Amino acid sequence: MNIALLGTGLMGQPMARRLLAAGWPLTVWNRSPDKTRSLVEVGARAVDRAADAVAGADLVITMLADGRVVRAQLQDGGVLAAMKPGALFVDMSSIQPAEAREHAAWLAARGIGALDAPVSGGTLGAEAGTLAIMAGGSSADFERALPVFAALGRATHVGPTGTGQLAKLANQMIVGITIGAVAEALILAERGGADPARVRQALQGGFADSRILEVHGQRMVQRDFAKRAAMTVQLKDLRNALATAAGDGTELPITTLFAQLYAEAIDHGHAEADHAGLWLELAGRNGLR
């Protein structure tokens, strides 16, 4: 299959490299062309327009900022008109489930298959090819995409169109809330005179252990908040969860609180930090540097 990848930012860049390493013919597009140059050096074909990238492609992957950007490329960017009937559109961006269903309907009207297949694992997972891929759509389209997913990580078909995005929202709720729990626990330990690095070590292997404690807890201990997964993206996903919940009357009080905390962290100057940088907001409230 000829593959087109739209969006070669923090996540799209290492995903493109995994696809190229697996031998897939790949055409790439990014709004900022400088982010495609290094991919050309390892075998990708870069184009200036998203519509040119998808013309003739058998499978199109998008890794874009949000549903608004995906919609803009489908319509204003000419992607919907340029894709050939029988192709498969795989949106690996994190968007609202309602947006995924709307986009899939537009594509189906042109004889194009669609999967919403957001991912978890961050840039580390993208580089290692160990992403958790949560796919919504038909079983037939999922089977078509499986050989491509194999280069990127472990894919699970979770249900019909839109459910991949629901699974991603669930993931982001757990990640965002757990980051806050780990941050507060380590701050409490440090304020009380314990070594937070040793507290983190002591908790590993017990019921409090998690991937968040392992990876993000280490970043908090080392005060390393270089952006791997953006604070702004975490907030966007929590707000998408709240918007989805509001649509069907689901109450999410914990997510509501954490959306407010991430928003305040961004307002206080931490927009360019990794989402583990919620520690910075909570530490600032407690006089830690």
Q: Mind telling me the catalytic residues?
A: 168
What lies within 8 Å, CB to CB, of 282 at 6+ separation is 180, 183, 184, 187, 261
Max CA separation in the chain (angstroms): 64
The continuous run of DSSP H or E covering 105 comes out as helix 97-109
Contact 90, 79 (CB under 8 A): no
Closest CA to 67 of 32, 90, 91: 91
Distance of alpha carbon 184 from alpha carbon 118, whole angstroms? 29
Q: What amino acid occupies position 108?
A: A
Alpha-carbon dihedral angle through residues 19, 54, 101, 73, given to the nearest 10 degrees = 110
